[in-house]
Amino acid sequence: MARIGVFVCHCGENIGRTVDCARVAEALRDLPGVVHSVDYKYMCSDPGQQMVKQAIAEKGLTGVVVAACSPHMHEKTFRRAASGAGLNPFLCEMANIREHCSWIHEDREMATAKAIDIARTLVEKVKRNRPLKTIQIPVTRRALVIGGGIAGIQAALDIADGGREVVLVEKEPSIGGHMSQLSETFPTLDCSQCILTPRMVEVYQHPRIRLYAYSEVESVQGYIGNFRVTIRRKARSVDEDKCNGCGACTQACPNRKVPSEFECGLGKRPAIYVPFPQAVPNLPTIDRSRCLLFLNRAKGRPDTCKKCAEACSKGAIDFDQQDRLVTEEVGAIVVATGYQVYSIGKETGRDDLHGYGEYGYGTLPDVIDGLQFERLASASGPTAGRILRPSDGKEPKRVVFLQCIGSRDPAKGMEYCSKICCMYVAKHTMLYKHKVHDGQATVFYMDIRAAGKGYDEFTRRAIEEEGARYIRGRVSRIWRDGEVLKVQGFDTLSGRPILMDADLVVLATAVRPQPGIEALAQKLNVSYDRHGFINEAHPKLRPVETSTAGVFVAGACQAPRDIPDSVAMASATASKVLGLFASEMLEREPTVAVVNDALCAGCFHCERVCPYGAVEHREVRNRAGQVVRVVAYVNPGVCQGCGTCQATCPSKSVELQGFTDDQVYQQIQALGL
């Protein structure tokens, strides 16, 4: 016979203001099976929890219903309290009369009636709850980090320094990411490469980090603690074990006119190349789309050019190298794939992004983007750190910077703020002033968003001490007039149109996730927003977890992030991963689907609909050991308890523990509809 206790919480005024909690407690007291029903100001407080424990002990309760806030808030609190009093924690349920009732209603009478209904359904449910045991699953204590930018590097180093092995996968030939391209960093103006390259070297030398550069994640199977990841190691056409990184091959390559990705197209590289001098690993890669030998092979012609192979004293060049697939077992995955900048008018697969053609990006050589300006300002860049405009190599005396190109513009671009542009434009004006003393930097801005330690001081310094001219307004058109660029815009503070001459225009283009992020997210089963940014599990309380347990997110693939944010996020993921790896076994909630072997007809609709791949085939044998039937089996380690299988099963042979058909059916019945 059920002996249910009901505990109604006022949540201070949160519930008490709109719901007559005493009446709720009184109404539930009369329900069959309810032997105890009380209300209290703060059930989650220590005295409140004591009331629950005491009632369990004194009245021998077989089930507890706490009518209070969302189970997201305090289910754990009360289950722990119930457990402390000797009751199986899964015999304690929350009736949400706050988010589902008091917060959204005004009429006290009706809200009270609804609160009684909500609590009553839970009483009927808890009568049918069964004691459940948490699930223990083993953990492979190694991590995979996807992306070798600053976020991925930081996450890998933190996890490895914490004593666990890390597999770091980077799709480009070298780790370093966008940070390696930057000249100096805000708000301190320290050299980006100077602070990054020691970390890169540390990754390379770390005994617990296995680096797969020029590799991509092919597929992911498994679940938290037990992922099986297949990694495609793309063919570099260079034998890593033989190459000593002397660079003779890159010197010998006759095709030296390939636009360099690292220099954002402002410089050239050979077809066999190391992206930049401090690359890690320091291994050349043949770009097969540009190599004369491979171009000839594609046309069915014989191999003619083998200059790199001839120059190599180690015999490391391997034109016949194939992609290789390697498999790694890991227990956690950190996604840190970073960003790209909005490449005005050249987006692939996004028809809706077509804005800002009027600025002449791609057609006017002296209209460049922010990343290109970083390369111009960088001492290791194509101009050796001198600000020279691409068209004629002259030093520009008037540089115009345009902010929010694609950002904060739902009509032509993305509605979100790209966050980093206000700061890096201020930095650009300073770098420019430091290199061209008689130059004038002008910035067109919408707002200056400089929230962060030392950030506002930094932008003020650009304006007040470094002479940058800030104009609040937007530019409508840019065109070429002889050697100068004409910039037409509007100053919204003075209300006047502006037409000015410029020698160089820099567009602060929006931050977007890397291409292919959707495909990767689908492999990992994590959700992403319509821009492709990976969704965090909770925007405030679980900022580095994703919708899939064991997969974490760091850096600019989650939202536009600057370097300090990316590093902080990366360290946060590392602490989450190390926490997960703290014990050999992992405890999981038993809210998972269970198949009734006797009733399962083995149609495997459940297998097809399961978004987590949790359904397996299980053979049922007779006493002689012969297979008599094949039925579905839900792997409790993989199951996330979404209930899709339960909804699909035509014979209702699979049920979610804690949410069985019987329980939910009785909840509905309790409403007397």
Partner 1 sequence: MRELRDLARRLLEEGSVQTVLGWEEGPRGARPVFVRRPEEAERLIFDPRCVHNLAAYLSPRRPHLKGLGRIAICVKPCDAKAVAGLIRETQVARDQVVLIGLRCGGVLPDPEGRETLSGETVADRCRGCPDREPRLADHVVGTAAEGFPGPSRRQQKVEELLALSPDDRWRFWQQELARCVRCHACRQVCPLCFCEQCIADKTRPRWVESSAHGRGNLAWHISRAMHLAGRCVDCGECERVCPGGIPLGLLTRRVAKTVGERFGWRPSDDPAVPSPVGTWRPEDPQEFIL
- Chain centroid to Cα 236, Å, comes to 28
Piece of the chain touching partner 1 by CB under 8 A; list 188-196, 344-352, 493-501, 660-668? 660-668
Decide if residue 600 touches partner 1 (CB under 8 A): yes
Nearer of residues 260 and 644 to partner 1, judged by Cβ: 644
Decide if residue 607 touches partner 1 (CB under 8 A): yes
Residue 617 CB partners (closer than 8 Å, separation 6+)? 602, 604, 607, 630, 631, 632, 633
Nearer of residues 384 and 628 to partner 1, judged by Cβ: 628
As measured in angstroms, the least distance from the Cβ of 607 to partner 1 is: 7
Decide if residue 659 touches partner 1 (CB under 8 A): no
Decide if residue 547 touches partner 1 (CB under 8 A): no
As measured in angstroms, the least distance from the Cβ of 317 to partner 1 is: 41
Nearer of residues 321 and 596 to partner 1, judged by Cβ: 596
As measured in angstroms, the least distance from the Cβ of 26 to partner 1 is: 29
Nearest to 335 by CA among 165, 151, 175, 611: 151
Residue 99 near residue 70 (C-beta atoms within 8 A): yes
Decide if residue 662 touches partner 1 (CB under 8 A): yes
DSSP-derived 3-state class of residue 545: strand
Nearer of residues 295 and 603 to partner 1, judged by Cβ: 603
- Determine the Cα–Cα distance for residues 90 and 131; give it in Å rounded to an integer: 6
- Determine the Cα–Cα distance for residues 130 and 149; give it in Å rounded to an integer: 48
Nearer of residues 484 and 603 to partner 1, judged by Cβ: 603
One-letter identity of residue 654:
V
Residue position matching structure tokens 């009360």: 78
DSSP-assigned letters across all residues of 385-406: T----TTT-PPPSEEEEEEEES
Query: What sign does the CA torsion over 513, 518, 519, 524 have?
Result: positive
Residue 133 near residue 110 (C-beta atoms within 8 A): no
As measured in angstroms, the least distance from the Cβ of 27 to partner 1 is: 25
Decide if residue 613 touches partner 1 (CB under 8 A): no
Nearer of residues 105 and 605 to partner 1, judged by Cβ: 605
Nearer of residues 503 and 655 to partner 1, judged by Cβ: 655
As measured in angstroms, the least distance from the Cβ of 329 to partner 1 is: 28
One-letter identity of residue 267:
G
Per CB under 8 A, the list member of 254, 608, 619, 621 interacting with partner 1 is 608
Decide if residue 170 touches partner 1 (CB under 8 A): no
DSSP-assigned letters across all residues of 258-278: EEPTTTTTSSEE-SEE-SSTT
Nearer of residues 41 and 629 to partner 1, judged by Cβ: 629
Per CB under 8 A, the list member of 609, 613, 618, 659 interacting with partner 1 is 609
One-letter identity of residue 112:
T
- Determine the Cα–Cα distance for residues 99 and 97; give it in Å rounded to an integer: 6
Per CB under 8 A, the list member of 604, 613, 618, 658 interacting with partner 1 is 604
Nearer of residues 33 and 267 to partner 1, judged by Cβ: 33
Residue 616 near residue 630 (C-beta atoms within 8 A): no
Decide if residue 652 touches partner 1 (CB under 8 A): yes
Piece of the chain touching partner 1 by CB under 8 A; list 19-27, 53-61, 259-267, 594-602? 594-602
Per CB under 8 A, the list member of 602, 613, 643, 658 interacting with partner 1 is 602
- Determine the Cα–Cα distance for residues 234 and 601; give it in Å rounded to an integer: 44
Residue 540 CB partners (closer than 8 Å, separation 6+)? none
Decide if residue 648 touches partner 1 (CB under 8 A): yes
One-letter identity of residue 452:
G
Contact residues toward partner 1 (CB under 8 A) are 598-609, 629-630, 648, 650-653, 661-662, 665-666
